[in-house]
């Protein structure tokens, strides 16, 4: 799953999240990539599963580690919280030059998702990304049933929080249609 | 060294390159010189973080190691690359590397 395409798309997520003053921890990258893939059809190759804290990709984690080992990504400790990811700008500029304009067509869609997720906290990202997962995978259910399904899948997300998450998801989807 | 050379634009990764290690740049030049048949490039880039494991806390909670230790969270990932050459080429390959390593890695190789 470590490909030029995946490295470039993940790098763009990190670049745009950083531009938007995001904390840019792994959760931000994971949830942004998930939503960009399933809603905006950005061609991330990583496969996602519903994991402990919502949609998660072990493939994407491998790509992040690869980019770390190549020093394309730099992990900055932010004790007592989790680490932030930043691009090594020099190497990233060289990789972007090498890729040319191959991935430019996805910028707007990635930017849209980043604009909604960049400043969110980890718990909010989990709720919203999981609500999107439920909306897309349990489309036959009505809204109230989807809210209960989210609570059933992630019992630590209470019904009021689940309801709020679906309100945000609704606004998100309206934004995608307007875009 | 190679990272600075790439940043300076003297060494440009190709559009399909996902490996920025010095050995990769060397083996690409070696293939031009000696052909690809007698050379083998092997690499290991750590792709999973083995520093992530459960920790039993004094109050019996279970936490993730990387959440409770800054040191563990920032252990560098392992990155190893080897270039192997067929025995009849090995001496020439080693000599070539000895002579050209710096030129390749500083981007001054013609």
Full pLDDT tens readout for chain A, 179 residues = 789 999 999 999 999 999 999 999 999 999 999 999 999 999 999 999 999 899 999 999 999 999 998 999 998 877 667 789 999 999 999 999 999 999 999 999 999 999 999 999 999 999 999 999 999 999 999 999 999 999 999 999 999 999 999 999 999 999 886 65
Q: Cis peptide leading into A80, omega within 30 of 0? A: yes
Respond yes or no on whether ipTM tops 0.90. no
Helix (H) or strand (E) holding A49: strand A49-51
**Which residue intervals of A20-121 are DSSP H helices?**
26-38, 58-69, 89-99, 107-117
Element (H, E) at B103: helix B87-105
Give me the pLDDT at residue B110, please.
56
Cβ separation of B15 and A91 shorter than 8 Å? no
Q: What is the pLDDT of residue A80?
A: 67
C-alpha A138/C-alpha B36 separation (Å) is 52
With CB atoms and an 8 Å threshold, state whether A65 touches B16.
Answer: no
Nearest-CA distance A25 → chain B (Å): 13
Residues A64, A10 contacting (CB under 8 angstroms): yes
A9 has a chain B CB within 8 A of its CB: no
Judging contacts by C-beta atoms under 8 Å, the chain B residues touching residue A3 are 18
CA nearest to B48 within chain A:
A62
Whether A5 has its CB under 8 Å from any CB of chain B: the answer is: no
Q: Which of A90, A76, A75, A68 is nearest to A7 (CA)?
A: A68
* Number of inter-chain CB pairs under 8 A, A vs B: 72
What's the whole-model pTM score?
0.89
Contact yes or no for A77 and B73 at CB 8 A: yes
For B71, nearest residue in chain A (alpha carbons): A77
Closest CA to A82 of A64, A97, A99: A64
Are A34 and A129 within 8 A, CB to CB? Answer: yes
Look up residue A84 and give its DSSP letter: E
Report which DSSP code applies to A104: G
Residue identified by tokens 């990635």 is A110
Helix (H) or strand (E) holding A178: helix A159-178
Residue A50, beta-bridge partner list: A55
How far is Cα B91 from Cα A173, in angstroms, rounded to an integer? 63
Please tell me the distance from the alpha carbon of residue A14 to that of residue A32, in angstroms, as a whole number: 10
Structure tokens at B81: 């690359």
CA distance A114 to chain B (A): 25
Length of chain B as a residue count:
110
Q: How far is A128 from chain B (nearest CA, A)?
A: 23
Looking at residue B66, what is its pLDDT? Answer: 77
Which of B6, B16, B48 is nearest residue A90 as measured by Cβ atoms?
B6
Three-state secondary structure call for residue A158: coil
Measured between CA atoms, the residue of chain B closest to residue A82 is: B67
Q: Is B20 a residue whose pLDDT tops 60? A: yes
């Amino acid at each position: 799953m470590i490909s030029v395409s995946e490295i470039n798309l993940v790098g763009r997520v990190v670049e745009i999240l950083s531009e938007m003053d995001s904390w840019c921890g792994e959760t931000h990258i994971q949830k942004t990539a998930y939503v960009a893939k399933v809603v905006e059809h950005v061609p991330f190759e990583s496969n996602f599963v519903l994991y402990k804290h919502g949609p998660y990709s072990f493939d994407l984690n491998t790509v992040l580690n690869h980019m770390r080992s190549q020093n394309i990504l730099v992990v900055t400790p932010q004790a007592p919280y989790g680490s932030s990811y930043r691009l090594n700008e020099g190497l990233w500029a060289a990789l972007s030059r090498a890729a040319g304009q191959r991935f430019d067509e996805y910028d707007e869609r990635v930017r849209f998702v980043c604009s909604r997720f960049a400043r969110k906290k980890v718990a909010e990202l989990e709720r919203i990304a999981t609500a999107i997962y439920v909306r897309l995978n349990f489309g036959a259910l009505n809204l109230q049933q989807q809210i209960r399904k989210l609570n059933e899948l992630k019992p630590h997300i209470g019904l009021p929080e689940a309801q709020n998450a679906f309100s945000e998801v609704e606004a998100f989807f309206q934004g995608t249609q307007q875009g | 060294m190679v990272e600075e050379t790439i940043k300076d634009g003297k060494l440009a990764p190709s559009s399909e390159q996902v490996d920025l290690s010095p050995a990769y740049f060397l083996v690409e030049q070696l293939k031009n010189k000696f052909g690809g048949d007698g050379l083998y490039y092997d690499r290991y880039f750590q792709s999973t973080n083995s520093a992530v494991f459960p920790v039993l806390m004094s109050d019996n909670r279970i936490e993730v190691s990387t959440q409770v230790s800054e040191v563990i969270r920032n252990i560098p990932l392992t990155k190893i690359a080897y270039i192997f050459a067929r025995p009849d080429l090995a001496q020439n390959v080693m000599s070539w590397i000895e002579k050209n390593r710096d030129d390749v890695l500083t981007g001054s190789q013609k």
